[in-house]
Structure 1
Amino acid sequence: MKLFHYHFWTDRVEETETFYRRLGFRVEGRYAMERGTVTPYHPPLEWDDFRENALIFRIIEVRKGNINITFGAGKKPIFDHIGYLVSDEELKQLCNRADVMGWKTEVGARRTFIYTPYRFKIELQTRKDAVDEGDAYLARLVMESPDESFERELERLFHRGMVEISFVSGAQLHLREVFMNGLEGSSKDPNKVIVTGLNDEKRH
């Protein structure tokens, strides 16, 4: 089981893509809603090729090594979910525990979602091609939450301590900071998430 992913809705779609590309992420794909149909605008297309079309991007996916980040158009930045790469057996165990806890599960052909009662989802991914090769990986997340039970309930779901996630008190559920192996320095993305290279974690 490996943390590999997070997703945002944002009103700063182009700025978010630009930020992560500057960190060495590559754009895997862009999908826009166009006249009721999902239309791809993948590379080698650049924003200058379609910016004037005022497209609403449902999903843009960027990757760097074992890190996969997606974001889509929204009215404001909203943190939506995190994702884990899991085995078939781990998927079954997590879904069974979610059922016992009364949490909804949505099993799909490409991915499974667990819906928590905290306006937050967990994606479970069994496809190895959801990430690229390379040394970059998500080492740790810092999440803000107004509910102290959130951490305990996630530990119950995963049946272990959440060593890869730190929880701090906040007014609303939000992803505050991510630590990534394979990056240097620290900067804040357009959605107010601090992205810190693993070698710089000791500075915070």
Structure 2
Amino acid sequence: MLFHYHYWTPFLEETERYYESQGFEVYQRLGKFEGNFQSFDPPLSWDDFREKGILFRIIEMRKGNVNITFGYGKKVMFDHIGLIKTDKEHDQICRKVDAIGWDVNIGERRTFISTPYGFRVELQTHPDVLEASDLTIIENMKVQTKEMELDDTFYKIFSLNPDVLESKKGAIPSITNVRMTGIKVQNSKDPNGVWLSSI
């Protein structure tokens, strides 16, 4: 299941505010302050730390089966999408991508796979990254990919349906559109250029 996307952005507060207005809740904020990584999770709000010059590594927001993260970057940059997989599926995917020479970084909590399309894929086997009491899901995502469109190899490796993840070739990898079910939003653009809509 496609459940996640991550951006680097200079528009942290604006991005958080946008997704809050769409019904998402802040799960965590982790940032570097005075040389150390610290948590600035709710109930803290931006009024509590806006002027402290915190370098946020990650802000995580959740609604149902959708998990969105973003961290500070000097410019807007799409980094990765995330898929929920079983342990068995995870291991099968890692063997397949290793066989074709893509880089695989297996971590304690998640695995990252570098693709030739200009973005990474996160494999997640821990369902606690979701708030499953809510039925919100990503129904469709459109990505702009570097140099080539996603091909059959990509879809077969990750067991993804092209109706869920569509692609077109472009100079800058990015997410152009995300359509969700279980959420009511007006067709609108987040501060990083992602159009969000609902069915």
Deviates more, 1:158-167 or 1:123-132: 158-167
Provide TM-score, normalisation by structure 1.
0.92
Counterparts of 2:27 and 2:78 in 1: how far apart (Å)? 20
What does residue 122 of structure 1 align with? 121
Identity over the aligned pairs, expressed in percent? 42
Matched residue of 1:6: which SS?
Answer: strand
Matched residue of 2:80: which SS?
Answer: strand
AA of the residue aligned to 2:52: N
Query: Offset of 1:150 from its aligned partner?
Result: 3.3
- Number of positions where the alignment pairs a residue of Structure 1 with one of Structure 2: 197
Contact 1:111 1:124 in 2 (8 A): yes
Query: Offset of 1:66 from its aligned partner?
Result: 0.5
Contact 2:57 2:72 in 1 (8 A): yes
What does residue 171 of structure 1 align with? 171
Contact 2:149 2:167 in 1 (8 A): no
AA of the residue aligned to 1:96: R
**Aligned positions of 1:55-70 closer than 5 A:** 55-70=54-69
Counterparts of 1:63 and 1:30 in 2: how far apart (Å)? 12
Unaligned 5+ segments in structure 1 are 200-204
Query: Offset of 1:131 from its aligned partner?
Result: 0.3
Matched residue of 2:157: which SS?
Answer: helix
Contact 2:149 2:169 in 1 (8 A): no
Deviations along 1:45-103, whole A, 9 cap, x unmatched?
00001101011110000000010000000011100000011001100110011001100
Query: Offset of 1:19 from its aligned partner?
Result: 0.2
AA of the residue aligned to 2:195: I
Query: Offset of 1:148 from its aligned partner?
Result: 2.6
Query: Offset of 1:169 from its aligned partner?
Result: 3.0
What does residue 16 of structure 1 align with? 15
Provide TM-score, normalisation by structure 2.
0.94
Counterparts of 1:3 and 1:156 in 2: how far apart (Å)? 14
Counterparts of 1:25 and 1:49 in 2: how far apart (Å)? 20
Q: Aligned in 2, Cα 1:26/1:161: closer, same or farther, shift over 3 Å?
A: closer
**Aligned positions of 1:69-148 closer than 5 A:** 69-133=68-132, 134-148=134-148
Query: Offset of 1:36 from its aligned partner?
Result: 2.9
Query: Offset of 1:154 from its aligned partner?
Result: 1.2
Query: Offset of 1:126 from its aligned partner?
Result: 0.5
Deviations along 1:108-135, whole A, 9 cap, x unmatched?
1111111112331100000010100211
What does residue 183 of structure 1 align with? 183
Counterparts of 1:188 and 1:96 in 2: how far apart (Å)? 37
AA of the residue aligned to 2:96: R
Counterparts of 2:113 and 2:10 in 1: how far apart (Å)? 25
Unaligned 5+ segments in structure 2 are none
Contact 1:113 1:121 in 2 (8 A): yes
Deviations along 1:152-189, whole A, 9 cap, x unmatched?
44124225643311112322211100011122221100
Counterparts of 1:93 and 1:23 in 2: how far apart (Å)? 36
Q: Aligned in 2, Cα 1:53/1:77: closer, same or farther, shift over 3 Å?
A: same
Q: Aligned in 2, Cα 1:161/1:147: closer, same or farther, shift over 3 Å?
A: farther
Matched residue of 1:50: which SS?
Answer: helix
AA of the residue aligned to 2:178: V
